[in-house]
Structure 1
Amino acid sequence: MKLTIFHTNDIHSHLNTYAKISQYIKDERSKLQHDSLYIDIGDHIDLFHPLTEASQGTENVKILNDSNVDVVTLGNNEGMTISHDSLNHLYDDAQFDVTCCNLFDLNSNLPNHLTSHVLKNVNGIKVCLIGLTAPFNHIYETLDWKVTSPLLALKNEISQVKEDYDVLIVMSHVGIFFDEQLCEECPEIDVIFGAHTHHYFERGEEKNGVLMAAAGKYGHYVGQVDLEIENNKVIHKEAQILDTTLLDEIPNNYEEKGKSLLDKPVLNRRISLPRRLNSASYTTDLLCESVLEFTEADCAIINAGLIVKEIDDSKITEYDIHQMLPHPINTVSIELRGVELKQIIYKAMEQSYIDEVAIGFGFRGDIFGGYVFKNIGYIESTGQCFVKGIEVQDHEQYKLGTIDMYTFGRYFPILKDMNINYIMPEFLRNIFEQKLIQKEKKV
C-alpha cells in the first residue's frame, strides 16, 4: 500500500501563507486514491500575529482544525511564549492528536490533551508518531514545566511501543543536528520530520536508512513524504517540498480579526512615540526604564530596533502596542561583578550590530539598531564605566536588567553561562503598556 504524509513546520503564525497551504493540502488529499495524513511539527503559533496574541494561540488551533490536520507536536513557541495555564488549555477544542514525550509539569504529567505518542491505524497499518520539543530547560522551569532530554525520552518511548507499530515516525522540533544524531542512534525510525532550525530538504535526506524531511519556515514550503509499505514494512520512501509562492492566494480575515480583538484603549489621548534606530529616543528611553523597573535592576540595556513601529495618534490601543513590540521577548535580571558588567558595556559601546538585520532569538523586527542604556555612563577616553553616576568597581556586585534575546550567546557571549533570572510570562509589550498606564496616572 501507499501512504502520503503532508507536513508543515515553523509556520510562526504566517497565517496568510498558511491559508493557501491549508487549501492546497485539503485539495491534494481529496485527489488521492490512497491513504494520507497531515502533520505539523510545531511553532505553528507565534504571538507576533495579532490574532494569535489576542487568543493566546486558540485561533491557530481552530485554523488547524479547519485544515484537517491529524497530528501536531509542540514547538518552543507553543511551550514557552504562553503561560502554563494557557498551554494546558490550548488544545481544549482540538480535533486532532497532540504528541510530545519530553515535556511535563512539576508532577510529571504531560500538558492537558497531550500524549507521549500517537498510534494511527491506517488501512490496517499501525503508524506510530512520537513528538519531541527542544530542551530549553531554564525557560521552561520558569513556567513550571520541566523538559527532559529528547534523545533519552524518545528511546524510552520507542522501547515502550516497539511491539505496537509497523511504521515509526518521529516529529522532531529539536533541530537538524539532533535529527542527524537520531539517524545514527535510532535506525529503526522510518522518517524524521524536522523543525526548529528552519532547515529544509528539497528531496529529503537519508542517513543510516532513516529519511529526514523538513519544510523550512514561515510556510515558504509545504512538504510531502510518500511511503510504500509491503508486509507491514516500509520498502520505499521519498520526500519533496513545494514552493508555496506557486500557490494561489486565499482570502482571509485573520489580521482584521486580530486587530478587532486587540482594539482596547490603553491611552485615550494623543501621544507621540517615535522610532529611531541609530540613537536613543523618548520611546526607547521609556522602554529601557520599564525594563529597569520591572527587573528591579541597578542598570539596563536594550536595543533601539525593538521598537518596530512608531505611534503618533489620538489614542493608543493594545493593537498599537502589539505592533510596536511584536516580539515574544521576556526580560531577565543578571547578578554580576563589576568587571563582567564593564565587559558588557564595552561590547555594547562597539555598536557592532547597529545596522544589521536581526533574525531569531524572539526578535520580530528588522534592523537591530543601537544599544540604549539606563543608569549607565561611559567615558570613552578613559574607559571608565558608571552606574547611577558612580564608577563601576571590579569586585562590586551589580544587577543588570535586559532581555532574554541577549542570553543565548550571540550578542554578549559572556552572558551565556551566567546565572540568569528569566522573568516570565510578561513580554516587553506588557511591561511597556503598564509603564504607559503608570505615567498616565501621574499626569
Structure 2
Amino acid sequence: MRITIYHTNDIHSHLHEYQRIARYMADYRSLLGHPSLYIDIGDHVDLSLPVTEGTMGKRNVALLNDADCDIATIGNNEGMTLSHEALQTLYSDANFTVTCANVFDDKGALPENFVSSIIKNIDGVRLLFVAVTAPFTPFYRALDWVVTDPFEAIKAEIVSHKNEYDVLLVMSHVGIFFDEMLCEKLPEIDVIFGAHTHHYFEKGQIENGVLMAAAGKYGDFLGEVTLDIEDGQVIHKCARLHALATLPEVETDFDSEGRALLNEPVIAKPMTLDSATHCITKVSYLLAESIYEFTEADCTIINAGLVVKGYRHKQLTEYDIHQMLPHPINTVRVKLSGRKLKEIILLASQNEYIHQHAQGLGFRGDIFGGYILYEAGYIASSQRCFVKGREIIDEETYTLGTVDMYTFGRYFPLLKDEAVSYLMPEFLRDIFKEKLLRL
C-alpha cells in the first residue's frame, strides 16, 4: 500500500504563493492513484498581512479548507500573536483536524477545536499524527496559555496510544535541532514533518532511521512524502520538494481584500508622518512616546526601522497604520539595575545596526535603523547616562519599556536574562493608534 502526504509549513500569510501550492494539489492530488493527505505544520497565519489581520486568521483557515487540508497544527504565530479569545475561535469553521499536544489553558484544557493527537485509518493502516509547537513559555503565559515540554508531550501521546497505531508521524513546529534530537531519542518515529526554523530538505534526510521532511518558508516549496506500507510496517519512505517556480500561476488580489477590510478611518484630519531610519522623525518619536506611556516605564528605547512606511497629508485608515507598523511585535517592561541600564544606553549609542538589513524576531521591516531614546540620554565625552534628566545610579532599579525583539539575545544580549514582563496581545500598531487618537 502507498500513501502520499503533502505538507506545508511557515507560509506566514504569503497567500499568493500558497494559492499556487493549492492549485497544484487540486490538479494533481486526484491523479495519484493511491490515498493521500495534506497537512500544515503551523505559522500559516501571520498578521503582517492585512487580510489576515482583518479576519484574525480566519481567511487563512478558509484557504486551508479550500485546499482540502486534512490536519494542521499551530506555530508561534497562531499561538502567540493572536489573543487568547481569537485562538479559541480561529478554527471554528475548519473542515480539517487541528492538533497540538503541548498547549493548554489554565485548567488543563486544549484550545477550542483542538485534539491532542489524531489517528487516521487509511485502508486499514492506522497513522498516528502527534503535533507540538515551540515552548515560548513567557509569551504563552502572558496570553493565559500553558505550553509544556514538546518532547514529553510527544512521549505521552505515544504511550497513551500504545498498540493503537501502525505508523508514527510527528508534526514538529519546534525546529531542526529539536527534530534531530527526536531522531536520536525516539527512533520509532517514521517521519518528522519539521517547521519553525525555516529549513528544508530537497529529498528528505534520514537520521537514525527517521525521515525528516521540511519545506522551508513562505510557500517556497510544497513538500511531498511517500510511504510504502506492508503489514502495518513502513518498508520504504522518501521525500521530495516541489519548488514554487514549478507550480501553476494563479491570479489573486489579497491586498485589495485587506484594504477593504481595514478601510475604516482612524482619525478625522489628514496627517503627515514621514519615516526615516537614520534620524528621529515625528512618527518615530510618537511611537517611542506611546511605548513609554503604555509600558509605564522610566525610559524607552526603540529602533527607527520599526516605522516601515510614512504618509503625507493623509487621513489614516486601519490599513495605513498596519502598513506603517506591520510587525507582530509586542512591548515589554524590563526591570534592571542602573548599571545594566547604562550598558544598554551606551550600546545603543553606538548604533551598530543603523544601516543593516534585519529579519526575524518578528521584525517585518527592512533596515533596522538608528536607536531612539525617550526619557533617556547620555553625554558621550564623559560616558554619563541619564533618565528623566537625572544621572543613573548603579544600585537603583529602573524600568525600561521597549520591544520584545530586544529580549531574544541578538541586539541587547544582557536583556535575555533580566526580569521581563511581556505585554500582550497589543501590537505596536495598536498602541500607536491609541496614541494618535489622543492627539
Report the TM range for the smaller structure's normalisation: over 0.9
Residues 268 and 314 in structure 1, CA contact (< 8 A), matched pair in contact too:
no
Alignment of 1:142-153 (within 5 A): 142-153=142-153
Moved more, 287-296 or 115-124: 115-124
Alignment of 1:301-380 (within 5 A): 301-380=301-380
Moved more, 308-317 or 97-106: 308-317
> What is the aligned partner in structure 2 of residue 36 from structure 1?
36
Distance in 2 of aligned mates of 1:357 and 1:25: 35
> What is the aligned partner in structure 2 of residue 97 from structure 1?
97
Aligned residues: 439
Distance in 2 of aligned mates of 1:120 and 1:296: 51
The residue type equivalent to 1:255 in the other structure is D
1:75 aligns with 2:70: no
Q: Could you report, residue by residue, the CA deviation over 1:211-249 in whole angstroms, capped at 9, with x for unpaired residues?
A: 000000001111000111011110000001111022232
Q: Secondary structure at the match of 1:266?
A: coil
Deviation at 1:314, TM superposition (A): 3.2
Distance in 2 of aligned mates of 1:357 and 1:193: 30
Distance in 1 of aligned mates of 2:11 and 2:195: 10
Deviation at 1:313, TM superposition (A): 3.5
> What is the aligned partner in structure 2 of residue 109 from structure 1?
109
Distance in 1 of aligned mates of 2:334 and 2:314: 38
Alignment of 1:144-293 (within 5 A): 144-293=144-293
Q: Closer, same or farther in 2 for the Cα pair 1:247/1:313, shift >3 Å?
A: farther
Distance in 2 of aligned mates of 1:254 and 1:163: 46
Moved more, 352-361 or 91-100: 352-361
Deviation at 1:279, TM superposition (A): 1.1
Deviation at 1:143, TM superposition (A): 0.4
Query: What runs of 5+ residues in structure 2 fail to find an aligned partner?
Result: none
Query: What runs of 5+ residues in structure 1 fail to find an aligned partner?
Result: none
Distance in 2 of aligned mates of 1:131 and 1:416: 28
Distance in 2 of aligned mates of 1:308 and 1:411: 19
Residues 23 and 248 in structure 2, CA contact (< 8 A), matched pair in contact too:
no
Distance in 1 of aligned mates of 2:313 and 2:192: 50
Distance in 2 of aligned mates of 1:303 and 1:246: 39
Distance in 2 of aligned mates of 1:205 and 1:399: 47
The residue type equivalent to 1:94 in the other structure is A
The residue type equivalent to 1:289 in the other structure is E
Deviation at 1:396, TM superposition (A): 1.3
RMSD between aligned residues: 0.7
Distance in 2 of aligned mates of 1:314 and 1:104: 44
Q: Secondary structure at the match of 1:372?
A: strand
Q: Could you report, residue by residue, the CA deviation over 1:344-363 in whole angstroms, capped at 9, with x for unpaired residues?
A: 11111111111111111110
Deviation at 1:337, TM superposition (A): 0.9
Deviation at 1:186, TM superposition (A): 0.6
Distance in 2 of aligned mates of 1:26 and 1:134: 31
Q: Tell me the TM-score normalised to structure 2 length.
A: 0.99
Q: Tell me the TM-score normalised to structure 1 length.
A: 0.98
Distance in 2 of aligned mates of 1:121 and 1:248: 31
1:132 aligns with 2:143: no
Q: Secondary structure at the match of 1:287?
A: helix
Distance in 2 of aligned mates of 1:54 and 1:156: 37
Q: Could you report, residue by residue, the CA deviation over 1:310-352 in whole angstroms, capped at 9, with x for unpaired residues?
A: 1124310000000000000000011111101001111111111
Q: Could you report, residue by residue, the CA deviation over 1:143-177 in whole angstroms, capped at 9, with x for unpaired residues?
A: 00000000011001101112111111100000000
Q: Could you report, residue by residue, the CA deviation over 1:384-429 in whole angstroms, capped at 9, with x for unpaired residues?
A: 0011111111111111000001001111000001110100000000
Residues 194 and 212 in structure 1, CA contact (< 8 A), matched pair in contact too:
yes
The residue type equivalent to 1:234 in the other structure is V
Alignment of 1:295-306 (within 5 A): 295-306=295-306
The residue type equivalent to 2:72 in the other structure is V
Distance in 1 of aligned mates of 2:394 and 2:84: 39
The residue type equivalent to 1:142 in the other structure is A
